[in-house]
Amino acid sequence: MYEINRRQAMVAVGAFLALAACSTDGDSGAGAKKSGDDFAANRDGAMADYGVGKQFTAAAPLSFSVLYNNHPFYPIKNDWLFWSELTKRTNVTLQPNVVPLSDYENKRSLMIGAGDAPMIIPKTYPGQETPFVASGSVLPVSDYLDLMPNFKEKIAKWNLQPDLDTLRQADGRFYLLPGLHEDYWTDYTLVVRGDILDKLGLEIPQTWDDVHNMLKAMKKEYPDSYPYSDRWGIPTPGGAMLNQVFGLGSGARGGWGFTTGITWDPNAQKFAFTGAMEQYKQMLQFLHTLVEEKLLDPESFTQQDDQAIQKLASGKSFVISGNAQTLVNEYRPPLKKANPKATLIKIPVPIGPQGPVKADANDSRLENGIMISKKARDSKNFVAMMQFIDWLWYSDEGQVFAKWGIEGTTYTKDGSGKFELTKDVDFIGLNPGAPKHLQKDFGFSNGVFAYGGSTELLQSTFSDEEVEWQKTMNARQALPPKPPSPLNDEEREQAALWQTPLKDHATQSTLEFILGKRSFDEWDAYVKELEAKNMSSYVNLVNGAYERYKKEHG
């Protein structure tokens, strides 16, 4: 939900992960269990009458271990009101195993592999659970959805079954409880100096061509500048640029969205290797033109984020990738300090060859979610833990609590039911100058606990400016979830051997094409180089799994 956390969200739902179920109740799949006598020994502390609309309160004081992703913008504090109020409401005390955000994925893998992971493992994006499936280190959570009435209710109400089915593994189960969004949430795009647009008499750009013309006009007025100097080039070159900013419009995502290197081609009705697609080539050609005309700073792919932000603040550049949070927290303050009259605008995602489409980072309404350690299943408090997870992460009441905090203390509601921060609390610039901060001082709107939910709740913390931006994006056509193509264990091992060399070569060549170090006359030779690295075998493996699924499940 937050900038650097959403950045991790660029691990897209892998094309080979899914196996859809035939039923529509969200708990189908091999070995599905029901919530009757199967859990006779695991009900200590559970509520007998837990359900949708009911406050979960454990029948006895309980504690559950949780892996905690420690965000540097709001480092963990033991005295946060979040902790004490959570215990007051649920009779549950969380025991966080704190891991720095910068090392979260690595530490998570090591702990799971060693059998030392906490019972609750949040901040896991779709696809990141797959390496732990074969070993049985994490639970097939689809077996236990009858213990989670709020989760099931939202799947049904928001018609999320097709999205959820993309998580299914070859055994028919899924191993991640994802964050659930009512609608797609697009966020990343280009942030542009509005005062420069006004000075040059330019409209807000809508398409790739408009962006090109805008940058040329800026370059003409400021010939010594690189109008567009981007961030998020380290460690993934073109992180947001190749994923959401231009990848969404091209139909072939690079950068953070490259992940497994497999893209569903709806026109061909089959999967293809992203780095060899014509749509990908068109995106690289567009970006190369920007570099060749000195409109795009070639350092965008190698500079630190701070360098890119400093160029924007100092007037050396006028365009950068960003989202709602970076706009408010990272871009406007230094620019205002350097140039009080300067303004910044978050423009709609530029429309490319795909036309006016919308999608989340994953082309799905699922966000990061929770894995459950296998040892939790043997706990006498297992049912209570699943009820607790269901309430905190998936109930309306739990989501409001995690996001906004306590009514009268951190927020109030006006006559129309609109949320408002109390006067002494700030969050993403909604109450500038307030002495306290919702995340830093209270622990609410914490990316470990607060994500997903209804569009109304999602947008309740948005500024009027961001709400209008979302209206523009939501008017566009939604992209449907990609179809399932689950690999079995043997196929997955083989695919893993092919993925890394293919991705490395595609990434290296992507930069060479964009920066002009390699001519597009060599595109066919580049594709042959991918072929030599087993591209066709890899794609055929995935398409074979897709056809197998269609045959078995219709």
pLDDT tens digits along 49-69: 999 999 999 999 999 999 999
Q: How far is Cα 266 from Cα 251, in angstroms, rounded to an integer?
A: 10
pLDDT of 351 higher than 80:
yes
Q: How far is Cα 95 from Cα 78, in angstroms, rounded to an integer?
A: 10
369, containing H or E segment: strand 366-372
| 328-333: long-range contacts, CB 8 A cutoff, minimum separation 24 | 328/428, 328/429, 328/463, 329/3, 329/73, 329/428, 329/429, 330/3, 331/191, 332/429
pLDDT at 361: 57
Are the C-beta atoms of residues 177 and 340 closer than 8 Å to each other?
no
Are the C-beta atoms of residues 27 and 137 closer than 8 Å to each other?
no
Percentage above 70 pLDDT, the chain:
92
Query: Is the pLDDT higher at 362 or at 188?
Result: 188
Concatenated DSSP letters of 200-254: HTPPPP-BHHHHHHHHHHHHHHSTTS-SB-----SSSTTTTIIIIITHHHHTS--
pLDDT at 508: 97
pLDDT of 45 higher than 50:
yes
Q: Enter the DSSP assignment of 549.
A: H
Collapsing DSSP to helix, strand or coil, 92 comes out as strand
Cα 72 to Cα 93, 188, 427, 435: the distances in Å are 23, 21, 16, 19
pLDDT at 48: 95
Bridge-based pairing of strands 477-478 and 357-358 is: parallel
Q: Tell the residue number behind the tokens 């809508």, with chain if given.
A: 206
Bridge-based pairing of strands 92-100 and 344-346 is: unpaired
pLDDT at 484: 83
Mean predicted confidence (pLDDT) in 318-337: 95
Mean predicted confidence (pLDDT) in 308-319: 98
pLDDT of 444 higher than 60:
yes
On whether the pTM is more than 0.75, the answer is: yes
Bridge-based pairing of strands 92-100 and 62-70 is: parallel
Among 25-29, 207-211, 323-327, which stretch is predicted with the lowest mean pLDDT? 25-29
Concatenated DSSP letters of 378-391: GSTTHHHHHHHHII
pLDDT at 8: 38
Among 123-132, 264-273, 491-500, which stretch is predicted with the lowest mean pLDDT? 123-132
Are the C-beta atoms of residues 315 and 344 closer than 8 Å to each other?
no
Number of neighbours of residue 95 by Cβ within 10 angstroms: 12
pLDDT of 162 higher than 70:
yes
pLDDT of 11 higher than 70:
no
Main-chain phi, psi angles of 335, to 5 degrees: -70, -40
Query: Is the pLDDT higher at 421 or at 552?
Result: 421
pLDDT at 28: 42
pLDDT of 551 higher than 90:
no
Q: How far is Cα 69 from Cα 9, in angstroms, rounded to an integer?
A: 14
pLDDT at 32: 42
Please state the three-class secondary structure of 22-85 as a single string. Answer: CCCCCCCCCCCCCCCHHHCCCCCCCCCCCCCCCCCCCCCCEEEEEEEEECCCCCCCCCCHHHHH
Mean predicted confidence (pLDDT) in 429-436: 91
Mean pLDDT of the chain: 91
Using 50, 70 and 90 to split pLDDT, how confident is the model at 258? Answer: very high
pLDDT digits (tens, 9 = 90+) for 453-503: 999 999 998 888 999 999 999 999 988 788 888 888 899 889 999 999 999
- As beta bridge partners, residue 66 has 96, 120
Are the C-beta atoms of residues 249 and 224 closer than 8 Å to each other?
no
Mean predicted confidence (pLDDT) in 80-91: 98
User: What is the residue type of 525?
Assistant: A
Are the C-beta atoms of residues 153 and 131 closer than 8 Å to each other?
no
Using 50, 70 and 90 to split pLDDT, how confident is the model at 362? Answer: low
- Region of 453 on the Ramachandran plot (φ > 0 left; ψ -120 to 50 alpha; else beta): left
Cα 537 to Cα 45, 170, 252, 266, 544: the distances in Å are 52, 19, 20, 20, 10
Q: How far is Cα 535 from Cα 533, in angstroms, rounded to an integer?
A: 6
273, containing H or E segment: strand 270-273
Collapsing DSSP to helix, strand or coil, 421 comes out as strand
Are the C-beta atoms of residues 180 and 154 closer than 8 Å to each other?
yes
pLDDT of 277 higher than 90:
yes
pLDDT at 109: 94
pLDDT of 29 higher than 50:
no
pLDDT of 30 higher than 50:
no
